[in-house]
Amino acid sequence: MATRRPPESESTERNAPSVEADFQAAPAEMVAEILDGELHLSPRPARPHTNVASNIGGLLLAPFKFGRGGPGGWVILYEPELHLGPRPDKLVPDLAGWRRERMPDALGGDESPAHYDLAPDWVCEVLSERTRRTDKGPKMRIYAREGVRHLWLVDPLAQTLDVFRLEGRHWLLVDSFAGEERVRAEPFEAIELELALLWSR
């Protein structure tokens, strides 16, 4: 099956060598990203962030990756490093998912790079005070530019889930859920999710 190509960015500008060098030299305890040619360093996620990201993965993997109690058909990864666009922008979403027909071999071979340069079909960003501005600003713009179709923004402290769909080049807020609702959130609306489980400890 033909792979859907993301829209081409108009810019052909590359990241500055000094930015790439600083990205490679980032301390292991920091999350390094290059957004619009600028290096962003943030601490590893705090416990509420890590807990909610793990819970989301736990709820989605069985039905959507393994086909247990759901339709399967997805590759879902924790914190993959994405290289997107010509610069490239280097992003680390909390979770990302590809429809399996677009990524039939998620592991690749021994010579495969550690990063992924195929834009996901879905990304999930768990918001924190340290990352909220970049998650809702440059990262959303880059995901839209590269044709990511679905985006979740999850706030573990406010206990909210905002579901976005890409319409043209702009994000449309499709649903906003909160608290302990039972919801069907695209692109995983095939099963009902108990939001209470997202916030559980």
User: How many domains does the chain contain in total?
Assistant: 1
Who wins on pLDDT, 2 or 130?
Answer: 130
Q: pTM score, two decimals?
A: 0.89
Task: Report the alpha-carbon distance of residue 164 to residue 124 in Å, rounded.
Answer: 10
Per-residue pLDDT at 2 exceeds 60: no
Range of the domain at 102: 46-107+114-199
Per-residue pLDDT at 161 exceeds 60: yes
Report residue 92 as tokens: 């680390």
In a domain, 178, yes or no: yes
Least confident range from 39-53, 71-85, 140-154, 176-190: namely 39-53
In a domain, 13, yes or no: no
| Each residue's pLDDT tens digit, 25-71 | 999 888 999 999 999 998 888 888 999 999 999 999 999 999 999 99
In a domain, 20, yes or no: no
CATH code, domain with 50: 3.90.1570.10
Task: Report the alpha-carbon distance of residue 140 to residue 170 in Å, rounded.
Answer: 9
Task: Report the alpha-carbon distance of residue 51 to residue 34 in Å, rounded.
Answer: 25
In a domain, 30, yes or no: no
In a domain, 5, yes or no: no
In a domain, 96, yes or no: yes
